[in-house]
Structure 1
Amino acid sequence: MEWRDEGIIIGVRRHGETSAIVEAMTRAHGRHLGLVRGGRSRKMQPMLQPGNRVDLTWRARLDEHLGTFQAEPIELNAARLFDAATAVFGLQMLAAHLRLLPERDPHPALYETLGLILSHLDDAVSAGELAIRFELLVLDELGFGLDLSECAATGTRDDLVYVSPKSGRAVSRAAGEPWRDAMLPLPAFLDRRSGMRADASAFEQAFRLTGYFFERHVYEPRGIGQPEARASFIAAVRRAFPSNAGAAAE
């Protein structure tokens, strides 16, 4: 068995004295692991770092085997990203989200979005906005996507300010007003038509929104907790807004 694909490294762990097991999100083969012989050498270690984009060749006798990777560098992002807290925690959070998906299950949209986020992880505001969209995409790929395109009650696409915690669908201001205390706020920047950027309050609302549905549909049913890196990433983004005194998003 053999294939060649582009991948972004999301995890590396030691294997024996000289080798490493590399975990990568690939364009066509999903999240995939492989053994890199000599991966702990001085030559290989700078390339085998989370955030780096590499050209991978995977080989194994049988498809179900771990197999081996041969890796060649395409874009070395790790050195740049390690200088920013949003990047360090962001990479860890994104990797944790990808591990919610079955191994070797292709998700090309997530791969493309991951590549886009890597270009902005050291910019707290852009990283925060893109991370929210990544979380929404992960929920969608897991089968728990939110419908934020129109009001669940009236079908209107205007003035959508709430999300129903039961259905995960957007609700307009007028339709949701009687139940506003039971609704989740929908930040305006999530509407691509608005052209708005997120402020401190919008970030808090957005992370609380995605966090609610991750907890309800993913973490609680699987008996796991929110990744520690997610809380650390949210805190790092929050520090970009010194005046924000909001509580941590759930």
Structure 2
Amino acid sequence: MDIQLDTSLDDFHTPSRIQGQRLELDALHLLHRFGWLRAREVGILLYSSSNQSRTLAERLLRRLVEKRQIFFRPLQGENDSKHARAYLLGQAGADRLWEVRGIDAWTSKDITISSTWLHDLIAHQILAKWKNKGFQIVTGRELHRRTRSGMKIPDGLAKPPGQDWIWLEVERSRKSGPAIHKQAKYLAGAALGMEWLGYQLGRAVVAYPETPGVNHRLRNISALSKLSAPSPFKVIFFPLKIHPLTLVVQFGQAEEITIEP
């Protein structure tokens, strides 16, 4: 007599199930690293080779929301649409990261999506773009965890293969004189190869969207030129445009400026 075995439980260990679990953990880890992300940026980071990256990410994030491992909040001033929904790490997701991967994560329920969210979103997209090029990245959120209150930190760090770290500054609002002077000192230090928190820096990048009434490029060049640096140095400027509906950053032509102190 033939005996038919019930093999339904075998599906638990199928490659597709294991792959799905890995992607869930990767998504949880990304939210821990960045603080919050939209589905579009999660898609760029996890499904970069697919032309349906955002759709795949939305499906993945929906599953994690249903499991109560993450939650979402609308970005301030935007309708609760798929383009303006920030996903954050919940306590159950943080617990899962610790139990499965040994990552000491914690819930993001204390994070306030402030009025500076567009500034943060620009930094997220730049870092995601660089990561997909094979760069190592450190997010602003990760750096905040390592520094004391009031300490100047970049909006992110990135390391191209075989090169030193890049200091990233996103300029969207008009800084005061003292604030832009302080930023200029760190940009110059990065360009001149200073070490910061154990990171050997080698380049500085200023990324700036078009802002009515503010010329971020000229203001930063002016502040950099007033420094008493030991030698000339170069800073890279990236003009940006932001799509008004999808909030996707479009990158302009990079410009490397030599600063003569």
TM-score bin (small chain): 0.3 to 0.5
Higher radius of gyration, 1 or 2: 2
Give TM-score, length-normalised by structure 2.
0.33
Higher relative contact order by CA 8 Å / sep ≥ 6: 1 or 2?
1
Give TM-score, length-normalised by structure 1.
0.34
